[in-house]
Amino acid sequence: MKPLLLSRADEAILQALGRYRLLTIAQIVRLAITDRKNAGERLNRLAAANYVDRVRGSAQTPGVFWLTPKAGKHFAEVFGPEWAKAASGKGFVDGAHMVQRLATVDVCIAARTWADVNGSEILSLRTDFEAAGADLQRATTLEWNGTRYTPDALGEFADAQRVRWVFALEVETGGFSQRLDNFTAKLAERRQVMESRTMDYALKRPPGSRAARMLFVFKSEDMLSAALATLPEPGARSWRAVFFKALPDVVEDFGGDWLQAGGDRRFPFQPLERAAH
């Protein structure tokens, strides 16, 4: 069977699904690929040809789309082998994590959008729900000195001055009631990751590199405020490279100020010793 003849919008949608792994129609619109009506029509056409699979929307979650193995097989030569690795036979039918995964995609879109207009280059940006490697570890898993750390997303970019920055992303949605159970349960472990510079050592970053950042994103401003109130020793040095922000504010402006444990507001990717209060 010959591959389906793709329109420009089809190509852009398939490329975006290869980059982000899963997308809603609203996210496709946000990526400026096409309008909502045409996105729905294109996705229905691609689904009918079995190039995308989907979970239909419900009262709690929107419809979600991802690439199928057939798409990977038919279009690997067009979009490249790395793109084809995003195809999933298993799919993303586990609704328990869907809201959190979509929020992670929202932040990744915001980060790439910010980089595109600020002279920065995203060198890598992967999420923990990407395909596992041969060792079956998640795509973001890091190990050093007996510590294993798996953030929701792991990124590296070069800023306009070609300084390279690494960041881990932790997205906390807390279910429908926005509970902080997951945040508080993992807080000590994540703090230790920052104290030991696990990310920098695991990634074998050269001496003199800027310390890796840890970015926490919360579903709402209320959830963010509640989380900040639980932080132990907010003035401790271990929090200096850790930043917090609510999801709506990240979507609006990834590159704006983020909160720190002690109440300071600053952009995460600047030298901490010279950061303005």
Per-residue pLDDT of the chain (277 residues; tens, 9 = 90+): 556 788 999 999 999 999 999 999 999 999 999 999 999 999 999 999 999 999 887 767 789 999 999 999 999 999 999 899 898 877 777 666 889 999 999 999 999 999 999 999 999 999 998 865 544 467 899 999 999 999 999 999 999 999 999 999 999 999 878 999 999 999 999 999 999 999 999 999 998 899 999 999 999 999 999 999 999 999 999 999 999 999 999 999 999 999 999 999 999 999 876 444 3
pLDDT number for residue 185:
96
Which value, in Å, is the radius of gyration of the alpha carbons in the chain?
Answer: 19
Query: If you classify domain 8-93 with CATH, what class do you get?
Result: mainly alpha
Cβ-count burial of 32 within 10 angstroms (0-12 exposed, 13-18 middle, 19+ buried)? Answer: exposed
CB distance 99 to 21 below 8 Å? no
In what side-by-side order are the strands of the sheet with 121-127?
121-127, 153-158, 164-172, 213-218, 242-246, 258-259, 265-266
Q: Please provide the distance, in angstroms rounded to a whole number, between the alpha carbons at the two ends of the chain.
A: 62
pLDDT number for residue 133:
52
pLDDT number for residue 277:
37
Residue 229 C-alpha from the chain's centroid: 25
Amino acid at position 196, single letter: S
CB distance 65 to 24 below 8 Å? yes
How far apart are the C-alpha atoms of 88 and 105, rounded to whole Å?
17
Cross-strand partners of 65? 23, 54
Taking CB atoms within 8 Å and a gap of at least 24, the contacts of 172-175 are 172/216, 172/217, 172/218, 172/219, 172/223, 172/227, 173/99, 173/100, 173/103, 173/218, 173/219, 174/218, 174/219, 174/223, 175/99
